[in-house]
Amino acid sequence: MSATFDLNERPDYDEILQKIADYVLTYEITSEEAWKTARFCLMDTLGCGLLALRFPECTKHLGPIVEGTMVPHGARVPGTSFRLDPVKAAWDIGCIVRWLDYNDTWLAAEWGHPSDNLGAILAVADHLSQKQVAEGKEPLTMHSVLEAMIMAHEIQGVLALENSFNRVGLDHVVLVKVASTAVSAKLMGANREQMLSALSHAWVDGQSLRTYRHAPNAGSRKSWAAGDATSRAVRLADIAMRGEMGIPSALTAPQWGFYDVLFSKTNKDQKLKPEDKRQFSLPQEFGSYVMENILFKISFPAEFHAQTAAEAAVKLHPEVKDRLDEVDKIVITTHESAIRIISKVGKLANAADRDHCLQYMTAVPLIFGNLTAEHYEDDFHEAHPIIDSLRDKMEVVEDERYTREYLEDDKRSIANAVQVFFKDGSNTDKVAVEYPIGHRRRRKEGMPLLEEKFRNNLATRFPGQRCDQIDRVCKDQQSLEKIPVQQFVGLFSI
């Protein structure tokens, strides 16, 4: 009787891990557009976090695990008085940033919100900068924060271009964890071996399922899942910095690696045929492409696939608002990803369910001419049954061109069209919006509005003089990059 044995020759680190590590440790960012866009991204992301502090369902999660805990050089959570260890601070910052679904977006084979990584970046940088000053060393500057943001965006976004985690049931926050682990380790001073170890542990970690984003289980976990991922990333980077060995073939190990366990088609006996195996595709080298092309949510706190539908609905509002009782049907023309992710019929159970429903996010601006975070709350929904009445009259259809151009490199549109038909046989024009105002193609139009959004969000938390001070610092690229991290974060502390 013959025996089989596992070949116990420790391999070199998987190629993908090495590419990420070498990018983070050696790449020099020279794109002025990337640096400038990162500044806008920092402003917008922090503003989204400040706005979320108005919602008790968010703030109930914040603060130390053990009340009264004192942390030397604790990382601050913007808009609060909390000083926390970097692991919990990353959780809290990531939570407030993502809570309202209002921060930036990346759409490809996989979706996600690369500014989620700021939770880890800011927590680690603030703590380290304070610690270095206390030791008589030079602090980190905001240049390091912006650099880490560009790199985290790039790692998450390039991995998302052709690799669909949602199609195997995994949530996109796996990419937040990986990207945040890499840049956190760099901020901590990792060498190449430590960086590779940290990245391997991020992939070996158990990964979140997408079920909390979809009917019938959609709920508020989707609002703190990214914070949880950034928190775990900081922990894994710290573990690696303490000398923990890595898992070199975390992705490629037969039967036990990420590819075979979580990324490939399987059957009940776990024997994979060659044609069922999947591995990551990297269509381009890491650089600064993702930050340059990032999508901002400027007008609406809504899942990005619905941004153009909401914009079209706002345009139709004057024509429809006085004829709501006469509506016979509403046709939403969209792309395949929107249908797969956010097209929902039936009862919507909570705010998190509503801000991921294409029909709801179209109905509200048709009726009210706008879409805000408050429009998703239970009391608002219950007070306006007309919303569900219009939802029941909606038809969602796919335009194959919209689906195709959503994935084309030179377009990456996120198109929707809305048309309203009335009972007397009349109808509105079909209003189509192919590129949302936060798209790279609309930067000139969008950035002044993004700055206005930032100022408005600042005003929800700080007095006018502090708002002016923060605004001045953030508007000047060179001054922002030079300011020590602990001074910058201090501007956002209460």
* C-alpha to C-alpha distance for 463 and 444, rounded to whole angstroms: 29
Q: What's the confidence (pLDDT) of residue 410?
A: 85
Q: What's the confidence (pLDDT) of residue 268?
A: 44
Q: How many CB atoms lie within 10 A of CB 133?
A: 17
Judge whether 232 and 120 are in contact, CB under 8 Å: no
In tens, the pLDDT along 247-258 reads: 999 999 999 999
Judge whether 115 and 45 are in contact, CB under 8 Å: yes
Residue 372 structure tokens:
């805000």
Strands 416-422 and 111-112: unpaired
For residue 282, the one-letter residue type is L
What are the backbone angles phi and psi of residue 141, rounded to the nearest 5°? -110, 170
Residues of the chain with pLDDT under 70: 1-8, 265-277
Q: What's the confidence (pLDDT) of residue 276?
A: 57
Residue 293 structure tokens:
């092309």
What are the backbone angles phi and psi of residue 296, rounded to the nearest 5°? -100, 140
In tens, the pLDDT along 450-462 reads: 999 999 999 999 9
Name the burial class of residue 24, with classes exposed (0-12), middle (13-18) and buried (19+) by CB atoms within 10 angstroms of its CB. buried
C-alpha distances in Å from residue 126, one per residue of 44, 77, 79, 450 = 19, 10, 15, 25
Q: How many CB atoms lie within 10 A of CB 315?
A: 17
Residue 329, beta-bridge partner list: 421
Could you report how far apart the first and last alpha carbons of the chain are, in Å?
72
- Tally the residues of the chain: 494
Q: How many CB atoms lie within 10 A of CB 23?
A: 17
The 8-class DSSP code of residue 213 comes to: G
Continuous H helices in 369-442: 378-383, 386-391, 400-407
Q: How far is CA 130 from the centre of its chain?
A: 27
Residue 95 structure tokens:
């939570």
What are the backbone angles phi and psi of residue 76, rounded to the nearest 5°? -90, 145
Q: What's the confidence (pLDDT) of residue 269?
A: 47
Spatial CA neighbour of 83 closest among 468, 492, 447, 414: 492
